[in-house]
Amino acid sequence: MSNLVSNEIVLEPSDHKRLSSLCGPLDDNIKQIERRLGVEITYRNNEFKVLGQSQQSSGAAQLLKLLYMETQPIRGQIPDIEPEKVHLAIQEANCLEQAEAGHHGKEVHIKTKRGVIKPRNSNQSQYVSNIINHDISFGVGPAGTGKTYLAVACAVEALERQEVRRILLTRPAVEAGEKLGFLPGDLSQKVDPYLRPLYDALFEMLGFEKVEKLIERSVIEVAPLAYMRGRTLNDAFIILDEGQNTTVEQMKMFLTRIGFNSQAVITGDITQVDLPRGVRSGLRHSIEVLKDVNDISFNFFSANDVVRHPVVGRIVMAYEEYEGKQEKERLAKKAQQEALSTEAAANKDENSSK
């Protein structure tokens, strides 16, 4: 077909073991790239040929180069390119395609002592850019879109550059649809289950021992939201996770804690509110109230931005479609009831006038 483009690349240096790691067992990695990007890949030794639509073909060729770089030996050992790594690299390839088309500007990288953290798609790139350039940033969207992880990465980078003196991580201690009952231990042990995702991100970027030392010196503070009341936080990078589970009053309290030379990032998923029935989410409310305020940015993620297992994106999409259908039915039913009420009132007025 005339609209198909062929891209030929040679992966250097030629290394049989590295090429085997790139292609995966029984060429599973190559098949995944072909399936996800809609291309056809053939190869002989280190010479690869990619056939497909222009953007997909060039994106797949770039993806192969990136993955081959990942096979560089570490302490004499060649890393395995696993399906999860291919999935994440495909997200990067999509980002590169959009960059070529001029959909977004220069890519933003987050540098920590443990390595460079790169956004996986254009929405994540914009999110990181907004965090860097705004005093207060909101990241709103489903699980698996990197909202909290990237926010923690930005906080770690700011601390290592000495742009802030401390990191403060907080979230509301609201049970996710379950009753955990009495939790034994001291205060730290009681709130740890709620704050575990924040600890995990810190351990990955700084290492367990360094995080423990920084917590002991109060350079890193992890605390439930209730402990923010009455404080003014200067020279700090503050992250509020699970913002959808704040009340309106709690969100207002948190936003007014921010002091001089401080940044705040609020993350959450407004489709997963665990507050009691009838209590309005502070995150939903703040989006409406603050949408036109300067120096505040909003990033909204969707199922397409999920960077976990591909099935997670499909699960999120299925829930969004189902909830959208339920909302349409609810609005239609409400409109029908209002119409009936209006008709009944009109009939009553007509009868009374007779």
What is the arithmetic mean of pLDDT over 141-145? 85
**Res 102: pLDDT:** 39
**Res 100: pLDDT:** 42
**What is the model's pTM?**
0.60
d(C-alpha 257, C-alpha 246), whole Å: 15
Judge if 33 and 153 occupy the same domain: no
**Quick check: is 146 in a domain?**
yes
**Res 36: pLDDT:** 75
In 61-153, which ranges are E strands?
110-112, 115-117, 136-140
Judge if 211 and 82 occupy the same domain: no
CB distance 166 to 220 below 8 Å:
yes
**Quick check: is 315 in a domain?**
no
Whether the link from the prior residue into 13 is cis, omega within 30° of 0, is yes
Domain boundary (307, 330, 349) is at 307
**Quick check: is 344 in a domain?**
no
CATH number (domain holding residue 256): 3.40.50.300
Judge if 143 and 282 occupy the same domain: yes
Domain boundary (266, 289, 307) is at 307
**Quick check: is 207 in a domain?**
yes
Q: Which tens digits make up the pLDDT trace of 300-354?
A: 998 777 766 666 667 767 777 787 788 888 888 888 888 888 877 777 777 776 5
Judge if 89 and 117 occupy the same domain: no
Between these two residues, 4 and 179, which has the higher pLDDT value?
Answer: 4
Judge if 93 and 124 occupy the same domain: no
**Quick check: is 322 in a domain?**
no
Judge if 131 and 261 occupy the same domain: yes
**Quick check: is 94 in a domain?**
yes
Q: Assign 3-state DSSP to the chain and report helix, strand, coil percentages, each to 5.
A: 50, 15, 30
d(C-alpha 80, C-alpha 17), whole Å: 10
Judge if 141 and 162 occupy the same domain: yes
Q: How many domains does the chain have?
A: 2
Judge if 121 and 248 occupy the same domain: yes
CATH number (domain holding residue 32): 3.30.1370.10
Judge if 9 and 145 occupy the same domain: no
- DSSP class of residue 47? E
What is the arithmetic mean of pLDDT over 227-256? 89
Judge if 61 and 168 occupy the same domain: no
**Res 266: pLDDT:** 96
Residue 180: pLDDT over 60: no
Can you read off the two tokens belonging to residue 153? 């990465």
Judge if 116 and 243 occupy the same domain: yes
**Quick check: is 89 in a domain?**
yes
What is the arithmetic mean of pLDDT over 204-220? 90
Q: Which tens digits make up the pLDDT trace of 43-91?
A: 999 999 999 888 888 888 888 998 999 899 888 888 888 877 887 777 6
Q: Which tens digits make up the pLDDT trace of 84-140?
A: 788 777 766 654 444 444 334 445 667 776 677 878 788 888 999 899 888 899 999
Judge if 88 and 140 occupy the same domain: no
Residue 16: give the domain boundaries: 5-100
Domain boundary (59, 77, 100) is at 100
d(C-alpha 197, C-alpha 329), whole Å: 36
DSSP 3-state of 9: strand
d(C-alpha 269, C-alpha 272), whole Å: 6
Between these two residues, 151 and 103, which has the higher pLDDT value?
Answer: 151
CB distance 93 to 62 below 8 Å:
yes
**Quick check: is 271 in a domain?**
yes
